[in-house]
Amino acid sequence: GLKAARLAGGWLRVAQPGEQVRYILHVSTLDRVLVPYPSVDEAIVD
């Protein structure tokens, strides 16, 4: 998960989430930790 990725010096990102996933991330405030990216390329570059 996210914690393991961070401990290993990595990251976990959400790329191209659907509308429902974006909504769930927003209402649960998980979008503060798992920032949704519009594409895989943008998730990798950032």
**What is the SS3 string spanning 1-46?**
CHHHHHHCCCCCCEECCCHHHHHHHHHCCHHHCCCEECCHHHHHHC
Number of Cβ within a 10 Å radius of residue 40: 11
Binning pLDDT at 50, 70 and 90, where does residue 5 land?
confident
Say which residue, 5 or 20, is predicted with more confidence: 20
Q: Which two tokens stand for residue 34?
A: 């798992």
- pTM, to two decimals: 0.73
**Domain boundaries defined on the chain:** 13-45
pLDDT at res. 10? 86
Assess contact for 39 and 15: CB atoms under 8 A: yes
